[in-house]
Each structure stands twice: as structure tokens, then as C-alpha cells.
Structure 1
């Protein structure tokens, strides 16, 4: 028998997010789930091997190290910035309100792009799974719409409910990859186990630049740890720990799994195998080393991996919208919190409707769910989030120059500047190899690249409008929130 609190029984009470709900593991589940490790490995890692050779695992380690350097300044600043606005709050404190409001708009577009595009991946993955297991051919639109309803319900429920769901789904998708690894290690791979993937001669090759572009994209969403600050237990410790746990796990796990699949086919044979059937590389490996039943499970778990990623991004978007509604930049109605579940349910409904509109529009245009809905919507979102990371890295030393603090120079100057240089390089790699992400024409790629800077400029223009027409909203933007009861 459940017990309701006075706040839950009082419909007119002003509900807030449920503080103290999430521990380090819960937040890490949200972040790692957003990255969709199984989907990234089975769907993208074969291309990294094909284009970068057997040195591909090192690319994921390099990307992880870069983002760990970024996290040094990022988590240091998180001890001083209490806002639920995450990226835009950090950027505002360091670089000023116009840049911060531009970043806020860019964050909305970036996170929505990362989520809505993935409904195309859900449809594609589910179609493939149903065909592989049952020989059924199902239209993709009903799958995407069903996914929207499932994710909308998950976001409507309490945040700890979402954390439990993600914990189960993440265990499933990582477990099947661990099962593959166990089979390869026990049988010694195709020709014995080799550490050649990490030798300089195989890492320092021209194809590594392409691998790095894929590798950085595989970490997308890791920074969302700070979005859950208001719902975290002891956020001063929980948020930084969750950030490092997520980066460390993803970097090491990605590198290990890519190395495993290379061992499964052998250093001399893996590139040819990836060229012959990139989409089937992991399925072929697990069939050989574990069994066909495991390949069937992998098909199912890829679908659940995508669902986990969607739920994680959905929750992150809802909290960004909630924060901007509380700032007065978005309508106040978007800031309503459900009295029982303590979730930003109006923001969730709005996000679900927006997702449905985009999905139906692509379907009506006769678009492919994978090559167009996923890739064309995801890519500008990914560029937008990379840009936000770069702006945060620049904002950290600017912020600490203006405030009194006891933090060390390495954390507040050296690491952020190094991260900014590395992230700028990563953005350059993604943009110069964007055709590998989209498979689109030059004109489409140009349009996709331009979206992020155009949205940022619109955000800066919005800031100027707010300063003239709504000066109080502008003055209070990204201010420190009152303590939650």
C-alpha cells in the first residue's frame, strides 16, 4: 500500500523536482545510457575499423582522455554554479548573458536533435530485429510513434523510476558485449590475442583522424550529469563522480570492445570483414564465439539500447526546458512539475509532440528513417553539443578570473585551455569528415553544419531583445536558484 505525502495530496501545491533522489550510479546510468554503447559499437565501430584499421581502439581512449581533461574544469566549476541550466549557466557566468542565452537556444536544438533523430534509429533497429527474428516487415512510422509514447510515459514518471529502467537496460546491452568478450578471450581470438592495436605504428596513421571523429561522437551526452544536480544526493560530490565514472567507463569499455572484435577476426582479417559486412560484424563475431542465440539477443538488446538512449535524452531535455521556463525565457507553463511524480511533465509532453511532428514530417516526405531522419537530425545536434562543450571550456578560466576562489591553477586554467584546444580539434574533425556521418550531398552537409552557428546567432539576438523588452528576465538569467526545500 503506497503512502502519499501532503504535497502529493494537495493538487494546488507548487511541486518541485524530487531532491536527493539520485546517487552517483543513477546519474551515471543516465549518461552512459544516452551514449547507447551497444548501438555505437555494433553500428559505428565497424566503420571506425574499416577506415582507421586495427588502431581504432586507441581512438576511443584518446577521446576519453580529452573529455576527462575537459571534465577537470567542468566539474570544478560545478561546485560554484548551482543552476539546473547546466551548459548555458556555465557559459553565462564565464562569457556573459548574450553568449549564455545563445548557448541555451543551442542546447535546446542540440539535445532535441540528438533525441528526435534517434526515433529513426529505433524504427530501423526494430525493423531489422523483427525481420531477423520473425521474417516480418513492419512499416517504420508505427514503431517510431510507439517509441514516442513509451519514452513520453517514462519521462512522465519519477526520475528514480527512470533510473531503475535505465539500470536494467544498460545491464542488458553491456552484458551482451561482455558475453562476446568472454567468448573471444576464452577461445583466444582468430589467431591468438594481440596488443598491436595500441602500437604507435597502427595508431599514428591518417585514418586515426576519422576514428577520432567517430569516437568523440560516441560520448555525446556525457555532460548531462550536471542537469540532474537538483535531484542528486550530495551534488557537490555526486555530480563530479558521476561525470568521471561515465567518461572512464565509456572510454575504457569502447576501446576494449573494439579491440575484442578485432581479435575475433584477427589483425589481418578484420578490415576485410568490416568492408564486406559492417552492419553484421558484431553479429558474426558473437555467432562464432558464443552462438546464434546470442546474436538473436544482441538484435533485441540493440532495440532496448536505443530505447535507453531516448529516455536518457528525453529526461535531459525536460530539465533544460524546465530551467529555461523558470528563467522566464520559455513560457511559465513549461516549468510545471507533476505533484506526484515530481517530473517536468509539461516539458515532456511538449517534447513528445515536437518529436511526433518531426517524425511524421519525415515520413510524409518519404524519408528513410536511418539515412535521413537519424543522420540529418542527429548531426546538427551533435555539432551543437560539441560547440557547447567548447564554450564551457573557454568559460571556465574566464569565470575563475573574476571570482574569489580556492581552486588550483591546473583545474581553473591549464586543463580548461587544453580541453578547449582539443575540443576545437574534435569539432574540426567532425566537420571535415561530415560526409561519413551523413552520407549526404555537399549541399545537405553544408546546411547541416550551418544549423548550429545559425541557432546560436538567433539566441544572441534573442538576448538583445530580452535586454530591451524584458530587462528583468535578462538581468535574472542564470541567477543562482533558491535552495530547494
Structure 2
């Protein structure tokens, strides 16, 4: 027999239980979480050289196009945020627009997708730390202790209050973007390799076969930007703060990525940047900053790449904890995970569970003697990335259907045109990513098939779970995706 939250014993759902710290986060704070999750320095130094190698000097435009696509998505997404205020973010939107079975599938996909995006990055933390230690001190650092130390550090950051995390991410984000701004200043002051050029914008350089691959990398570089709505309950004036933070994050990332890749083109010259990227992709940005600023700046870049990865891990960890909190409050996950720390007002038990999950995965890959980058990062991160792109597509469809079903005063551009166009563009993005999956993973075909199928399989598994909840826990099913103060709807 199922029971509602109100029917639970007092020790399971006390009326005076602490909640998340409301009214804490401003626009800049939420934007810090989102931009930090994207890890701009890591994306630029680690991935942009491959985009240049594949797309040539027109690669910067790929990042602009990806940013524009996600800005279109944000129009409908943020409009719906004024109507759906649940902490469940993606799955709450999808439930309202596409029904509870799809919403429950989306909830599973969000939980698995965000965990994949974070846990795999512990492999990246290990490799960047190892590379930094070797570059600065000539030391060889084993990867497992670094990953485990990262798990403890990130777990502590998530345990602390959300404003602590926002302040820490603000400092780390300034550091990682600052080093790229320093590189840009050096290149601009010295006029690049052969004078500054806007040839990256020329159609002849943009409309080339490699642009499709660049777009795949570019969409992946924005992963996690939609997590602004997860912090709604902790935001100051969420009806304004959340949309502003979303647009600020998308706008900043799109322009910053495109500008930084363009700076790399200027640093080596239109005629030599592709050759330089092919010769030493991992060292492209380090060579550039050494040439235009100095070796000391390259040393700083090594350090800030490590802190960039730490910032990304903390941002994803906080997002995962709030998803788990929302699902625990829904009754889908154990209600213990919905407990909030009385002093820090953080979902600390959800954080402990997430850290333990990460430790199990990391230790399993180490026991299998797997490579921390080629396997832990890429094999765990890739399904997470595809899962979040799929969630964005489902959310765009949900926005479109939701506003067809309810009375509202929103304009047709926000409720019809933007979500429909976003759905088409996001479907295209998913096709691009899947068709170039070998560039992301470098894995055999059989492995790539598993990595691609994993995300949709998780979503499909949510459908029998929805059926089970409807039959065995009808109270949980009936209230899934609704606000605490409203009546359940009939889907």
C-alpha cells in the first residue's frame, strides 16, 4: 500500500525539517556553477586543437553556431521555468509536457547522465594532475590517489553550503578564464603571427566538410548549461535570476569559446595553425602562451587546468545532489537522500551517496587496469554527454506540447517557434555527435555502439519503472512532477 509524504511518520517527513537555503544565489552565482561545469580552460586547451585540426581556421564559427542553437533552446526553456517551479528541472518539464512515463524515464536519464558527466572527469583530474606534476617538477604521479583525493575534496565542497560553493567556483572560474584572457592579450598586442585576420568568418572556411565534426565538439563543450533551473529553490527572485543566468552562461560560453579559438588561429597564423594542431594538439595552447606571454604563464596554465577540472567536478556534484534531493522528495529514491544538513542546508546525504558511487566506479576501473583518460573519462563521460543532449531534445518537445495544453499569456515566438526550432537543431546536434562518436572516444566500433545506446536505454528503462510505480505506489506516481501545493494532474 502506498502512502503520500503527508502520511509518513514524523521522523521521515518532519514539518520542521531544514530545507535548502533559499534566496542565496544571485545571477552571477548560478552562472558560475554553469560555466564552471563546462570547464572552459580544459575544453579550450584539451579539445579546441582537435576542432582546429578537423575544421581548420573556420572552427571558431562552430562554437558560435552551437551557442546560438542553445540560446534558441533557452528561450522556451526559461519561459516554461515561470510555470514549472519544481526542483526536478528537466524531468519536471518533460513530465508536464510529455507525461509521467516520459518524465520518469527522463529522471533516470538525468541522474545517470549527470553522474556520467562527473564521475568520468575524475579520470581527467588524474591525467591533468599527472601532466602538471610532470611538466613542473618532472614527477610521475599515480592516478588512483589523485582521483580518490578529488572525490574527498569534491564531497566536502558539496557538503558545505551552496554559497561556499558559489564563492569557490567564482575564484576558480576567474583563474581559468583569466589565463586565457592573458593569452589573448599577448596575441592581440603583438598582432599574432602574421597580423590579425577575420578569415575564420569567411564562408569558404566555414562551409567545409570538417565543420560537422567541429559542431559535434562545440555542442559537447556546453554540456550542463541547463542546470540553472536546478538552483531555483536557492535563487534570489528565481523568476528573473534563473533566465538571466541561463542566457548569461550560454552567451558567455559561445562568445568566449569562439574568441579563444580565433585567438589560437591568430597565434599561429591561418596557414600554420592546422599543422601546429596536428603536430602537438595537447601542447598547442601551452606553446602559444609561452611564445606570446612567457614560460611562467604556461606553468600557470598547467595549474589552472587542474583547478578548472576541480571546478567542473564541484559544479556537477552540486547539480547531481539537487536532482537526487528532488527525486527523494518525490518518493522515487529513498527518502533519506532528501535530508538537508541543519547548518549548511545542503543535501548532504545525497552528496555522500554520489561520492560513494564515484568511488566504486573509479576503483572498478582501476581494478580492471583501465586507462584514466581513454577509458574512465571517455567511456563514462560520453554516455553522460549524449544523455544530457537527449534530455535537452525531450525538454524542447515538452515545452512545445506544454504550451499547447495550458492557457497562458506567453507569445508564440517563445512557446511555438523557439521550442520547435530548438528541437530540430538539437536533434541535428545529436546526429552530429553520434556520427562522429569515434572522434570523441577513439574506441573500437563495438564499444562505441554500447556508449551510444546506453543513454536511450536508460530512458527506456524508466517506462517499466513508471508502470511499476503506477501499479504498486500510485500515490508517488500521481504526484510525480507536481508542485507540493498543487493538485496532481491527470497524466
TM-score range, shorter chain: over 0.9
Cα offset for 1:402? Answer: 1.0
Q: 1:132 aligns with which of 131, 135, 142?
A: 135
Q: 1:203 aligns with which of 203, 206, 229?
A: 206
TM-score by length of 1: 0.97
RMSD: 1.0
Q: 2:425 aligns with which of 422, 426, 433?
A: 422
Residues 331-480 of structure 1 mapped to structure 2, 5 A cutoff: 331-480=334-483
Gaps of 5+ in 1: 1-10
Cα offset for 1:482? Answer: 4.2
Cα offset for 1:397? Answer: 1.4
Q: 1:23 aligns with which of 13, 21, 26?
A: 26
Distance in 2, matches of 1:327 and 1:262, equals 50
Number of matched pairs: 473
- Secondary structure of the corresponding residue to residue 343 of structure 2: coil
Distance in 1, matches of 2:250 and 2:482, equals 29
- Secondary structure of the corresponding residue to residue 425 of structure 1: helix
Distance in 2, matches of 1:57 and 1:397, equals 31
Cα offset for 1:320? Answer: 0.1
- Secondary structure of the corresponding residue to residue 348 of structure 1: helix
Is 2:65 aligned against 1:62?
Answer: yes
Residues 82-231 of structure 1 mapped to structure 2, 5 A cutoff: 82-231=85-234
Instruction: Give deviations 1:333-354, integer Å, cap 9, x for gaps.
Output: 0000000000000000000000
Instruction: Give deviations 1:359-412, integer Å, cap 9, x for gaps.
Output: 000011000001100000000000000000000000111101111100000100
Distance in 2, matches of 1:401 and 1:12, equals 37
| Equivalence for 1:4 | none
Distance in 1, matches of 2:352 and 2:16, equals 21
Distance in 2, matches of 1:348 and 1:43, equals 28
| Equivalence for 1:232 | 235
Instruction: Give deviations 1:143-181, integer Å, cap 9, x for gaps.
Output: 000000000000000000000000000000000000000
Distance in 2, matches of 1:12 and 1:152, equals 28
Gaps of 5+ in 2: 1-13, 487-491
- Secondary structure of the corresponding residue to residue 106 of structure 1: helix
Cα offset for 1:460? Answer: 1.1
| Equivalence for 2:249 | 246
Given that residues 82 and 481 in structure 1 are in contact (C-alpha distance below 8 angstroms), is that contact kept between their aligned partners in structure 2?
Answer: no
Distance in 2, matches of 1:137 and 1:480, equals 52
| Equivalence for 1:8 | none
Given that residues 17 and 342 in structure 1 are in contact (C-alpha distance below 8 angstroms), is that contact kept between their aligned partners in structure 2?
Answer: yes
Distance in 2, matches of 1:47 and 1:91, equals 34
| Equivalence for 2:320 | 317
Distance in 2, matches of 1:364 and 1:70, equals 41
Distance in 1, matches of 2:319 and 2:485, equals 21
Given that residues 13 and 339 in structure 1 are in contact (C-alpha distance below 8 angstroms), is that contact kept between their aligned partners in structure 2?
Answer: no
Cα offset for 1:481? Answer: 2.8
Is 2:303 aligned against 1:300?
Answer: yes
4+ aligned runs moved over 4 Å, structure 1? none
Distance in 2, matches of 1:401 and 1:377, equals 37
Distance in 2, matches of 1:223 and 1:374, equals 22
Distance in 2, matches of 1:438 and 1:55, equals 23
Distance in 2, matches of 1:325 and 1:12, equals 16
